[in-house]
Each structure stands twice: as C-alpha cells, then as structure tokens.
C-alpha cells in the first residue's frame, strides 16, 4: 500500500502499474463503449470491491457496476437483465481460476456476451485464464500469498479503480498506507488497531461475549458489516493455535451487524434488555453523504450516540417504576440493566482516503487479535470441507458417503 523495498514490494508495484494500464485502456475505448461492469468473484474478491464501489459512489460511478458472487443464478440473471451485453465489461476474479461458484457464473456470462473479448481476468494462475479464453493482455496477476479478504488493495480492486477513477483508487491506497504507518509506529497506548483488538479479546476470552455487533450509521457503509464478517471470522474463527494445538480459550467472536436506525427497530431490543452480552460498535460519519440538509443528518448521528449512551446508562428500576404509575410488572419490563459496552468510530468525512484508513484499521485489528489469541489469521481451512462434500454430492449423485438425512435431501433435490 505504500513505500518499501524488496521483491514483494517490487512485484506489487508492477501489478499496480499493470492495473493502471488496463484502466487507461478501458477509458481509451480498447473494449469498445463500456457502460456496465459485471464483477464476478466470491468471498473477499467480491465483498471488498462491492464495499468500495458502494461506499464511495453508491452505484453512481462512471460505470453501472454489478458485483456477483452467489452461485444462485437469480443474482446473475438480475444483473444481466440490467446490462447491455454489447456494452458490458466482465471482470472475473479467482486466485486459482477454478473456484466453482466464480467460474460457473463466468461461463454463463461468457455465453451471454458471446465470447471473451470484453473479459478481464484477475488471478494468480494466468495460464488458466488464458486457457479459458481471456487474452493475455487482459489478465492481471496477484500473488498466491494474498488472501481474498486482504486483496482489495491489489489488482482485485480493478473494478473499483474503473468505477471510481484511478485518482480515487490511489487515495484509497494512501489512506491504507497512513493507517499502516500509524499501526507500525504509534505506542500501544495510542495505537488504535491494537487497543481495539485488546478490547475484542478482553470481551471474547475473559468476559464471555460470544458475538460482536457492528452498526454502520451511514448508508454508504451498509456493506461494512458483511465485509467484516468475512475478514474477522474467516481470519480468526479457528480451533487450533499456530502450532496445531487445540485452543483452550475462545477464538474470534461472531461478527454481525446492520445499518443505522434500521437495526434499532430490528435487533436492539435484545442488545438493551436481552440476556446476552454483545459489545457493539457504532461507525459514524460527521459529514452527510446527501444534500437533504444538516438537520436530517443530525437525527441519524443523535440516534447513534443515544444508543451507545443508553447501553451504558440503562434505566433503573426506580426510574421505571416512577414512569409506570407504580405498576411493578410494567416497571420491570421497562428497566434496562445498562453497563453494556460499545465503541464509537467517527470519520469526519467518507472519501477514498478515509475509507482506506478504516479498512486498514480493521485489518490490523484482526491481525493483532490473532496474535493475542495465538492463531494464524491467514488460512481458512474451515471453508474447504463443505466445498469438498458439495463436489462429492454432484459427482456421486446418489449421496454415497453421506449420512441418511443428507442422502434423503440429495435424492429429493438433485
């Protein structure tokens, strides 16, 4: 994301230069008149680019951008209905170029467009992309060591670079680099990712919090909770330590969340009065992302601050009794225990630079928590077993090797 030396840094710089050249070619008309981008990936290769595009331009960028990840054909079909195949650029992102969900969707998109002339591949296996039909000059590479959930800074971010413009993508990288520098140099007592990770481990390991909720009080960050679910749970949802020994303490908490005041009317009942301890995080942006006036935005921010204060303060039984006309049963229902934890994260503005810093903050926080927990945040073997069994179900048909319940389901469905 910034300066440095060595082979890895040089390779990253060359990959960035190649990405910039491809963006320039698209802008110059090398693929014809492009109005739509269909980005096909899964996991980090989809969640990251989707977050970037939605947060910075809300779908109002230079291209009508659709990010497809689900193998359910409904998602792809809806996107194709919204696009003109003659004016659509398809970006296929797969490290191995064998990912079943991604390649299944890519094959359908190839049939729809009628060839691969307007396809871009982003992969660590360029020879497979070429064999599949993508022209070598339209293939962007990234290192095999780069995990999907950490990959949006690489050529995987080409869709964001196209939609937002290269200057905006460079600003995103600069924001990430600024957080890198803070993480590297700030003392522990002032180091935001380290302090946040220590709080996460405190609640998950020592205070028994099994979940952590993140609420984006800005519509532009509506995809942030989903992005963080993968970043944190795929990184730190492990059962063994770095030496392969079974953990004797909890690993990552379950990360979930929602958007702004919508969540208040859906899940906050449990957060305030339920029996589970759920540390909450409120992400706010001081400057509104709309032109509907400051008063409109103040209502949103006031709600965010009030939720954190209410979680902490609660409402005593005496206060509830006084406002319930002496009805003890009603007062009990209106009593809030309080002393429930929350963190507020405030951005002055939301732009590519601050978004880059925010994402890098969460990456370093996740890494630090992994170090404190003694686990490896860069593998994801828990993803593999289900995929292997899905392939077996398709290959064997009758469900050989599956339990009776699963065989019955396979017989009914396949």
The pLDDT tens digits for 280-330 are: 999 999 999 999 999 999 999 999 999 999 999 999 999 999 999 999 999
The pLDDT tens digits for 171-194 are: 999 999 999 999 999 999 999 999
Question: What's the rounded Cα separation, in Å, for the pair 316 and 347?
Answer: 33
Contact (CB, 8 A) for 372 and 194: no
- Report the pLDDT value the prediction gives residue 395, as an integer from 0 to 100: 81
Could you tell me the sign of the dihedral formed by the alpha carbons of 293, 294, 295, 297, in that order? Answer: positive
pLDDT at 342 over 80: yes
The pLDDT tens digits for 120-157 are: 999 999 999 999 999 999 999 998 888 899 999 999 99
Catalytic pick among 101, 177, 232, 234: 234
| Whole-number CA gyration radius for the chain | 24
Residues in the chain: 414
- Report the pLDDT value the prediction gives residue 339, as an integer from 0 to 100: 97
Closest-CA residue to 155 (of 328, 13, 344, 325): 13
- Report the pLDDT value the prediction gives residue 410, as an integer from 0 to 100: 87
CA atoms lying within 13 Å on the CB side of residue 328 = 0
Residues of the chain with CATH 3.40.50.10490: 7-164, 171-379
Exposure string of 321-354, with b = 16+ CB inside 10 Å and e = fewer, is beebeeeeeebeebbbeeebbbbebebeebbbbb
| Tokens representing residue 85 in the block | 């195949």
With cut-offs at 50, 70 and 90, classify the pLDDT of residue 10. Answer: confident
Look up 286 and say whether it is catalytic: no
Contact (CB, 8 A) for 180 and 12: no
pLDDT at 396 over 80: no
The pLDDT tens digits for 89-122 are: 999 999 999 999 999 999 999 999 999 999 999 9
Question: For residue 246, what is the DSSP state?
Answer: B
Please state the pTM of the whole predicted model.
0.94
- Report the pLDDT value the prediction gives residue 11, as an integer from 0 to 100: 84
Taking residues 389-399, report their average pLDDT: 78
Question: What's the rounded Cα separation, in Å, for the pair 320 and 334?
Answer: 6
pLDDT at 16 over 60: yes
- Report the pLDDT value the prediction gives residue 397, as an integer from 0 to 100: 64
| Tokens representing residue 81 in the block | 């209905």
- Report the pLDDT value the prediction gives residue 279, as an integer from 0 to 100: 98
Taking residues 202-226, report their average pLDDT: 97
Look up 265 and say whether it is catalytic: yes
CATH code for the structural domain at 7-164: 3.40.50.10490
- Report the pLDDT value the prediction gives residue 58, as an integer from 0 to 100: 67
> How many other CB atoms are there within 10 angstroms of residue 15's CB atom?
18
High-pLDDT (> 70) share of the chain, %? 97
Q: Map residue 215 onto helix, strand or coil.
A: strand
- Report the pLDDT value the prediction gives residue 414, as an integer from 0 to 100: 84
Write down the mean pLDDT value for the chain. 95
Strands (E), 41-195: 64-68, 88-93, 119-123, 139-141
Closest-CA residue to 43 (of 226, 213, 236): 226
Taking residues 394-404, report their average pLDDT: 78
Fold annotation for 171-379: Rossmann fold (3.40.50)
| Tokens representing residue 316 in the block | 């005593």
With cut-offs at 50, 70 and 90, classify the pLDDT of residue 3. Answer: low
Number of helices followed by number of strands (H, E) in the chain:
18, 9
With cut-offs at 50, 70 and 90, classify the pLDDT of residue 59. Answer: low
- Report the pLDDT value the prediction gives residue 7, as an integer from 0 to 100: 79
Which contacts (CB < 8 Å, 24+ apart) does range 338-341 have?
A: 338/310, 338/311, 338/312, 338/313, 338/314, 339/312, 339/314, 340/271, 340/272, 340/277, 340/278, 340/279, 340/280, 340/311, 340/312, 340/314, 341/203, 341/279, 341/280, 341/311, 341/312
Look up 387 and say whether it is catalytic: yes
The pLDDT tens digits for 218-245 are: 999 999 999 999 999 999 999 999 999 9
Catalytic pick among 190, 276, 387, 400: 387
């Amino acid at each position: 994301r910034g300066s440095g030396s060595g082979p890895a840094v040089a390779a990253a710089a060359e990959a960035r230069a190649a990405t910039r050249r491809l963006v320039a070619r698209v802008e110059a008309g090398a693929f014809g008149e492009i109005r739509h981008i269909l980005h096909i990936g899964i996991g980090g290769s989809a969640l990251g680019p989707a977050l970037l595009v939605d947060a910075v331009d809300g779908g109002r960028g230079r291209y009508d951008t659709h990010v497809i990840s689900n193998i359910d054909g409904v998602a792809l079909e809806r996107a194709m209905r919204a696009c003109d195949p003659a004016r659509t650029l398809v970006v296929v992102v797969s490290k191995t170029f064998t990912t079943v969900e991604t390649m299944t969707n890519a094959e359908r998109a190839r049939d729809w467009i009628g060839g691969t002339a307007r396809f871009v591949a982003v992969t660590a296996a360029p020879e497979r992309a070429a064999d599949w039909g993508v022209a070598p000059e339209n293939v962007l590479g990234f290192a095999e060591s780069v995990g999907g959930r950490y990959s949006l800074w690489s050529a995987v971010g080409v869709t964001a670079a196209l939609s937002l413009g290269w200057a905006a993508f460079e600003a995103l990288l600069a924001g990430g680099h600024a957080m890198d520098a803070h993480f590297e140099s700030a003392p522990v007592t002032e180091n935001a990712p380290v302090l946040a990770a220590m709080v996460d481990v405190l609640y998950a390991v020592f205070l028994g919090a099994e979940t952590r909720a993140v609420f984006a009080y800005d519509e532009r960050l509506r995809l942030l909770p989903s992005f963080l679910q993968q970043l944190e749970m795929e990184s730190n949802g492990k059962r063994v330590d770095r030496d392969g020994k079974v953990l004797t303490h909890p690993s990552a908490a379950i990360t979930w969340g929602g958007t702004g005041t919508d969540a208040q009317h859906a899940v906050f009942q449990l957060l305030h009065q339920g029996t589970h301890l759920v540390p909450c995080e409120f992400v706010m942006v001081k400057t509104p992302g709309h032109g509907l006036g400051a008063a409109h935005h103040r209502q949103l921010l006031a709600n965010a601050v009030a939720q954190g204060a209410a979680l902490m303060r609660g409402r005593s039984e005496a206060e509830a009794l006084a406002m319930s006309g002496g009805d003890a049963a009603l007062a009990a229902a209106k009593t809030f225990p309080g002393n429930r934890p929350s963190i507020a994260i405030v951005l002055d503005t939301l732009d590519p630079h601050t978004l880059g810093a925010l994402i890098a903050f969460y990456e370093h926080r996740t890494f630090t928590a992994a170090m404190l927990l003694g686990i490896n945040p860069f593998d994801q073997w828990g993803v593999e077993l289900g995929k292997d069994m899905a392939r077996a179900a398709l290959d064997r048909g009758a469900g050989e090797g599956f339990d009776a319940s699963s065989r019955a389901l396979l017989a009914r469905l396949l």
